[in-house]
Amino acid sequence: MIKLLGSPVISSLVFVNLLGALMLTFVYLVPLPDSNIGLNSTRAQNDIFSGLKSLDTDTSLVLARPLFHRNRRPPAKEVKIAVPEAPEVRREVPYRLVGVVGSSETNRSAYLQSTDTNETIVAKVGSTVDVWIVDTIGSNFITLVHDGERKVLELSGGG
């Protein structure tokens, strides 16, 4: 008999029978749910449908959030504020041309005098005077450029 219990087949059969007996006693000890409450009862159906309704509202909340946004919040609505356009300000050149030195176009220098301080500065093509850039220097004029605006200063006579 001990030899029989040592066999793996017999010991596994004994284990399965003991497990089955335990399950049968569990069924008798634990009562089954009331047969009046089943899927066919109206109360159970109402519970299911109310759960589906709440699921529907939860789903709409989830779908309202954008999927591919960093924090899954809808982007803030842009508020367009009407900004009045600044009137075009035409800058006057605070200098006057008092002299041009040099005979060739590439080697000319212009002497500009400040209208405020009477200080004289020397400018060549490409140099910056205040915010103006010297574009060309002619024999009796100079062309200054700032933000696409061109000003031509002519040599002032007399003095």
Whether the pLDDT of residue 122 is over 90: the answer is yes
Whether the pLDDT of residue 35 is over 70: the answer is no
Pick the CATH number of 95-154 from 3.30.70, 1.10.3470, 2.30.30, 1.10.443: 2.30.30
Q: What percent of the chain shows pLDDT beyond 70?
A: 70
Q: What pLDDT band is residue 159 in, cutting at 50, 70 and 90?
A: very low
Closest CA to 132 of 159, 93, 83, 102: 93
Q: What pLDDT band is residue 92 in, cutting at 50, 70 and 90?
A: confident
Measured between alpha carbons, how far is 30 from 81 in angstroms, rounded to an integer?
72
Q: What pLDDT band is residue 64 in, cutting at 50, 70 and 90?
A: confident
